[in-house]
Amino acid sequence: MSKYDIIVLGSGPGGYVTAIRASQLGFKTAVIEKENLGGVCLNWGCIPTKALLKSAQVFEYLKHAEDYGLSVKDADKDFTAVVKRSRGVAEGMSNGVKFLMKKNKIDVIEGFGKLKPGKKVDVDGKEYSADHIIVATGARSRELPSLPQDGKKVIGYREAMSLKEQPKKMIVVGSGAIGVEFAYFYNSMGTEVTVVEYLPNVVPVEDEDVSKQLERSFKKSGIKVMTSSEVTKVDTSGDGVKATVKTKKGEEVLEADIILSAVGIKTNIENIGLEDVGIVVDRDKILVNDYYQTNIPGYYAIGDVTPGQALAHVASAEGILCVEKIAGMHVEALDYGNIPGCTYCTPEIASVGLTEKQAKEQGYDIKVGKFPFSASGKASAGGNKDGFVKVIFDAKYGEWLGCHMIGAGVTDMIAEAVLGRKLETTGHEVLKAVHPHPTMSEAVMEAVADAYDEVIHL
């Protein structure tokens, strides 16, 4: 039996980052992976979807070249080539993780791992042991009883990024990050897209102003948006698919080539031995303490399988914190109230902290500032005037309670708010920190100025 200090089950952005940090700290480390190094994020999620979205964005620029004083004739897309490029990017990233495993002297064990009592893992009949075993098995597309996925006419995100042919009509069920990103991609490629959302607003976890702006932008680009609506049944017996949608006005039947189910995720915790070891699970999540220890000593869990936000950067941060705690380092528990969320459709969405509604519900006396990109010189020059930056401060102490952005490049701007909140920055300090001009990021300063009645360019 091979013996390690640390074994990580799963090699997604939680697992492989955890393994590398463990190796850096001097632990003899192994990673167990049943499919591809890098997990869903690198192979079927974060990275290849961004490659698809970049192709869509470039195509949009070509279609609107005249807006920039340019002439491009007969601009068209090759859907197969777009998908091929995305898969190539994913393969390159996965190979990069292979290199990192080798560089950090981490053993990669291929196969399906199952936890055993006594700090052991069985991988397809072969046992391995470790002083510490970390579960990082991630999640997959969730299926609804009314929307069973057949992988052909009713698909999840994996099939959506590797279709052989572009559908003429698509229904996207669910308007979280996955749903709206694919809605934007396929619409940009020329597919007729309808988004069906159960809740009253698209991207329902976001500030309501952001949700309303995205709905306006989507409708302007030709995407049909149906909120407060529910797909109650599907019929795949014909050439395409028919979806019965329950709305406030009654039932409506939509026809399409394909339905993309983007209604959330399901954790990968079945058949990995949790019951055999006695690890406690609640509502599809492994219960852990602030340092990701389960109720059984020597067993840990990070990432999507735990109750925190199901985001790649959260999984990475949790894994690093977990192994640093095992190494005896002084670590602070992760602040889940200061985790940025990003959505990469066009316009992009980025947010951190409380929404305006949440701040009011928690009893804060607040100052709210908002700066539209239509008043931004950089946004006007770039032809990307949709969207805004919205900031929320505690009126009494100046604490930065929340920041919400929608517009071009905002996923690269949100880190300012995350860092500012981490350092307990006040609104006055943000306002007096000189921001470069012309940039999209100066809209943050302008929004803060609006909150304090000092805005110049609005």
Q: Which residues pair with 219 in a beta bridge?
A: none
> Among 107, 148, 113, 110, which residue's Cα sits nearest to residue 4?
107
The helix/strand/coil state of 255 is: strand
Where in 223-291 does DSSP place strands (E)?
A: 224-226, 230-235, 241-247, 250-256, 258-261, 265-267, 281-282, 285-286
Q: Hunting for tokens 């490029």 — which residue is that? A: 85
Alpha carbon 237 to its chain's center:
33
Instruction: Report how far residue 32's alpha carbon sits from residue 19's, in angstroms, rounded to the nearest whole number.
Output: 10
Query: What does the block give as tokens for 172?
Result: 């996207």
Alpha carbon distance 327, 144 (integer Å): 42
**Environment class of 456 (CB within 10 Å of its CB; exposed 0-12, middle 13-18, buried 19+):** exposed
Quote the CA–CA distance of 58 and 70 in Å, as a whole number.
Answer: 14
Catalytic annotation, pick one of 313, 330, 435, 437:
437
Q: Which two tokens stand for residue 452?
A: 């304090």
What is the Cα–Cα distance from 349 to 210, expressed in whole angstroms?
A: 8
Judge whether 11 and 19 are in contact, CB under 8 Å: yes
In the block, which residue shows the tokens 């959505």?
343
* Annotation marks residue 64 as catalytic: no
Of 174, 199, 195, nearest to 184 by C-alpha is: 195
The residues near 283 (Cβ < 8 Å, ≥ 6 apart) are none
Determine the Cα–Cα distance for residues 73 and 66; give it in Å rounded to an integer.
10
Query: What burial class does residue 395 get, using C-beta atoms within 10 Å of its C-beta: 0-12 exposed, 13-18 middle, 19+ buried?
Result: middle
Show the tokens assigned to 6. Answer: 């640390």
Helix ranges (H only) for 253-401 are 274-277, 312-326, 356-361, 377-382
Tokens representing 329?
């380092």
For 405-418, give one letter per residue: b (16+ CB within 10 A) or e.
bbbbbbbebbebbb
Residues designated as active site: 437
